[in-house]
Structure 1
Amino acid sequence: MTLLHHRDRIGGDLVIEVAFTDVSLSLGDAAADDVRDEALAQVAEVTGATPVLMRQVHGADVGLVAGGAAGERQTCDALCTSEPGVALLARAADCVPVLLADPATGWIAAVHSGRPGLAAGVVPAAVAAIRSRGGDPSVAWIGPHVCGACYEVPADLQEEVAAVVPEARSTTSWGTPALDLGAGVRAQLDAAGITDVRAVDVCTREDTSWPSHRRDGSASTRFAGVVWSHA
């Protein structure tokens, strides 16, 4: 069953795996409940783990999945856990899905970093949340997202974000102000001391294998970055 792409795995006290779904699974809040539930069931079958979604709101709050709370949908833009058998999902359709892992302790996180989340610092917040609980993520994955040559924004919005994350400043291929969300996330990971960063070099707007709100508007579905651990 080829539902998960760009799979990777690292060993430690637990085996940690990551992967990304694509346009074949509809995981967005706008999807019919039965369609989304079927997509989650397929993710569960492939990973052997219980998938957990967030109610994403473009903020910087970090939720914790612990004590069998996998069935609860938290309102946040990052989830972390140290429990094996739980698959954390960060959904996107141009935003950056970021996955974090600490091979030594088994702590993992899934982060949704769009333009507001980048400026608010959701990725550093997720790193800090894990560190506050005794973990220390040393590996990060940056999933498919709209590239800096395609993500046009008004000049004042570019300035607003670049004032917080200068590395995100970009220019479209047609010469207008833009933001490079991936470059911004990389800069935040570097500032957090995470140097093992593994990126999927795909622009969601350009590659129709991936959902893109910029390309398809309200018709766009959502894919997900997925991270899980097991013995």
Structure 2
Amino acid sequence: MARTSPFHWDEEVRPGLRVAFTSSSAGNLALHVGDDAVAVHGNRARLAASMGIGTGTLRFMSQTHSDRVVVLPGGVPGNAAPAGVAPDADGLISPDGHDPLAVLVADCVPVVLADAPVDEGGSGATAVVHAGRAGVLNGIVGHAVELLRARGATDLIAWVGPAVCGSCYEVPGEMMRGLAALVPEAASRTRTGLPALDLPAAVRTQLRRGGVGVAPVPDAAAWCTLENPALYSHRRAPGAGRIAGLVWRT
């Protein structure tokens, strides 16, 4: 029997560079939702094998809805820090793109960024960002873009992954208006007309404000984590698991 793919979407976006978002077929990839740590590490090892990278080289973060972006030392994959060490951050940058990166979500917005390769005048840098409501408010996407540019990025492209959609993320009206005052595109309504937030639209707006191109994704209707049972959703099933946004070199 053929093994089920762990990916919701997976594509070579530039020569030798892949971006992917996992589905629940990859299993829970987060250590903080009450799952058995041995099982999570097993899921991560199987994911690394599917990516064609070494076990323990995929870099994760300890995500807390902060505005912190950590820049890893450039160099050989896996040498930036001891295996298993996850920096306290919601954004992670590999300045030369050598480190495979992961961001974990279950309704928040996973963002992957990549610059043009060095032989095309870019830095080759890659990054991942965790952008929930707090992340949109604190501007973590723009912060990551600024840091990438400060390190020589010239042609950034972003991929916005599966997240709760603007029709499903019901919030109090005051909360919607507060975020919409910062990013008007964040304002949305549920199918019954109640106040809601469209975090993916807000993130795309913040990326475009920063001059970053946003790559289209296929079948966008299937990218709502709450509506798609093949994706983890904290709103639908708290603690069930987390999917990952990934970027790595082959």
- TM band (smaller chain): over 0.9
1:111 aligns with 2:138: no
> 2:232 matched to 1:211?
yes
Q: 1:182 and 1:199 mapped to 2: Cα distance?
A: 12
Task: Give the Cα separation in 2 of the matches to 1:82 and 1:208.
Answer: 35
**Cα pair 2:95 2:148 within 8 Å, conserved:** no
- Pick which of 173-182 and 128-137 moved more: 128-137
Higher strand share: 1
- Alpha-carbon deviation of 1:220? 2.5
SS in structure 2 at match of 1:224: strand
Q: Which residue of 1 aligns with 2:186?
A: 168
Scaled by the length of structure 2, the TM-score of the pair is 0.85
Alpha-carbon distance in structure 2 between the residues aligned to 1:159 and 1:197: 28
Give the aligned residue type for 1:198.
Answer: P
Secondary structure in 2 aligned to 1:214? coil
Residue 215 of structure 2: SS of its match in structure 1? strand
Counterparts of residues 56-75 of structure 1 (less than 5 Å)? 56-66=63-73, 68-70=79-81, 71=83, 72-75=85-88
Q: Describe the superposition over 1:87-113 as per-residue Cα deviations: whole angstroms up to 9, x where unpaired.
A: 211110000100000122220001111
The answer as to 2:112 corresponding to 1:92 is no
1: CA distance, partners of 2:164 / 2:131: 12
How far apart are residue 173 of structure 1 and its match? 0.8
Query: Structure 1 residues 146-155 or 42-51, which shifts more?
Result: 42-51
Q: Is the 8 A contact 2:97 2:249 kept in 1?
A: yes
Aligned counterparts, 1:9-88, within 5 A: 9-11=12-14, 15-24=16-25, 25-28=27-30, 29-30=32-33, 31-49=35-53, 50-66=57-73, 68-70=79-81, 71=83, 72-88=85-101
The amino acid of 2:248's aligned partner reads: W
Q: What is the letter of the counterpart of residue 69 of structure 1? A: A
Distance (Å, rounded) in 2 between the aligned partners of 1:179 and 1:19: 25
Q: Render the CA deviation track for 1:125-168: whole Å, top value 9, x for unaligned.
A: 11111111112352111101100000000111112211211110
In structure 1, list runs of 5 or more residues that go unmatched.
Answer: none
Aligned partner of residue 106 in structure 1, secondary structure: coil
Cα RMSD (Å): 1.6
**Distance of 1:21 and 1:11 partners within structure 2:** 19
| CA-CA distance at 1:8 after TM superposition | 1.6
1:15-63 CA distance string (max 9 Å, x none):
2111111112101222221111111111211223321110001122101
TM-score (norm 1): 0.92
Taking a change above 3 Å as real, the CA distance of residues 103 and 10 of structure 1, as seen in their structure-2 partners, is: farther
Q: 1:84 to 1:163 in 2, by over 3 A?
A: closer
For residue 6 of structure 1, report the CA deviation from its aligned partner. 1.1
In our comparison, the structure showing a higher alpha carbon Rg is: 2
Match of 2:120 in 1: none
When structure 1 is superposed on structure 2, of 181-190 and 1-10 the one drifting more is 1-10
Aligned residue in 1 for 2:248:
228
- Tell me the number of residue pairs that the alignment of Structure 1 and Structure 2 aligns: 227
Is the 8 Å Cα contact of residues 83 and 229 (structure 1) preserved in structure 2?
no
The answer to whether the aligner puts 1:199 opposite 2:217 as a matched pair is yes
Q: Does residue 184 of the first structure (1) align with residue 202 of the second (2)?
A: yes
Q: How far, CA to CA, are the matches of 2:112 and 2:155 in structure 1?
A: 10
Letter in 1 for 2:224: C
The amino acid that maps onto 2:151 is R
| Identity in percent | 39
